Amino acid sequence: MSKSNSIVVFGSANVDLVVRCARLPRPGETVTGSGHQLLPGGKGANQALAARRAGGDVSFCGAVGRDAFADTALANLIEAGVGLDGLHRIDAPTGLASICVDASGENAIAISPGANAAAALARDMTADDLLVTQNEVPAAAVGEAHRRAKAAGARVVHNAAPAAPLSADQMQLIDDLIVNELEFAEIARAFDSAPDPTPEGLLALAKATETRIVVTLGPAGARAALGGVLLDVPARAIKPLDTTGAGDAFVGAYAAALAAGGDDEAALSFAVAAGTLACLALGAQSSSPTAAEIEAHLSGA
Ligand code: RIB
């Protein structure tokens, strides 16, 4: 597989309406929060920003509206220097996520896709590109992006979030699949494989799908089956303030490390550190760490 230098993230951009509350509401219940903020979000935009802050040369493809929310959604990408040539502004509302974050940093999220529902990969791919995708834009557009990337010889990193099954044909177009435990179970079911990412379960699914698979394990770090090799990378213990976007920081940092030519174990450690640091501030993007911050964390600072 050739080394990729340029990262293309195709995915969603949202505004996140974040309410902090002592605990998450149950169905039919109203809880009173202690404050709210309108912040940039969306898994695609979060991952693009994370990859950029982690040192990548990054462009973002997606769709936002012509409304004021679009400015909020794009503010951090513009400030960080993420390329936006592949971004479309269309006649639809910018995507919105309604997020409650509880005292332990856990969240509950409902999204309204808005413009994301019309997103398509609006740029040519080359063999030097590394494409990063997720499941918050239409599955057909993601599949088409994978086909075009593979036809061009690019590497494909797919984060199957939110959870959705993947067919064997779709898996063939993915080089690196990144999932959490729930998403792992969803995909394993379709391949009659064990639902838990135990070492045996993970190696079995990676073999059955012929795909490199990385499973994020929250505070426990990450486990990966990469080319038949099992890797376990623990995370340092922290007190999380908000776990929103931690998975996105992981994916962005992993992509940045691969694009820089890092080996698998170093890329995983870098990604675990990024995901950990991303839990230390409110919002999906505010705490997305820089390469220097990740390196400092890894060296014990
Ligand atoms: O992964 C976190 C993201 O999920 C939030 O930023 C929200 O927009 C939803 O897309």
pLDDT score at 33: 96
pLDDT in tens, 224-270: 999 999 999 999 999 999 999 999 999 999 999 999 998 999 999 99
Rounded to a whole number of angstroms, the distance between the first and last alpha carbons of the chain is 34
Ligand 1 center to 10 CA (angstroms):
14
Task: Among 99, 137, 282, name the best residue to mutate to test ligand 1's pocket (greatest count of ligand atoms within 8 A of Cβ).
Answer: 99
pLDDT score at 2: 46
Please tell me whether the peptide bond between 27 and the residue prior to it is cis, using omega within 30 degrees of 0.
no
| Ligand 1: residue whose CA is nearest its atom 2 | 245
| b/e code 110-133 from CB counts within 10 Å (16+ = b) | ebebbbbbbbbbebebeeebbbbb
Task: Among 136, 182, 250, 285, name the best residue to mutate to test ligand 1's pocket (greatest count of ligand atoms within 8 A of Cβ).
Answer: 136
pLDDT in tens, 123-142: 999 999 999 999 999 999 99
pLDDT score at 96: 98
Q: How far is residue 16's CA from residue 14's CA, in Å, rounded to a whole number?
A: 6
pLDDT score at 1: 43
Residues 6 or more apart in contact with residue 180 via CB below 8 angstroms:
161, 215, 216, 217, 218, 247
CB atoms within 10 A of CB 296: 14
Q: How far is residue 80's CA from residue 45's CA, in Å, rounded to a whole number?
A: 12
At 301, the pLDDT band (50, 70, 90 cuts) reads confident
CB 289 near ligand 1, within 6 Å: no
Atom of ligand 1 nearest to the CA of 285: 6
At 34, the pLDDT band (50, 70, 90 cuts) reads very high
- No. of H helices and E strands in the chain? 9, 13
Atom of ligand 1 nearest to the CA of 14: 8
Using DSSP's 3-state secondary structure scheme, residue 19 falls into strand
Residues belonging to the active site: 248
Among candidate residues 81, 87, 136, the one with its CA nearest the CA of residue 247: 136
pLDDT in tens, 44-87: 999 999 999 999 999 999 999 999 999 999 999 999 999 999 99
Question: Does the pLDDT of residue 95 top 80, yes or no?
Answer: yes
Decide the pairing of beta strands 57-64 and 36-41: unpaired
pLDDT score at 4: 52
pLDDT in tens, 169-225: 999 999 999 999 999 999 999 999 999 999 999 999 999 999 999 999 999 999 999
Which two three-digit tokens encode residue 28?
């039919």
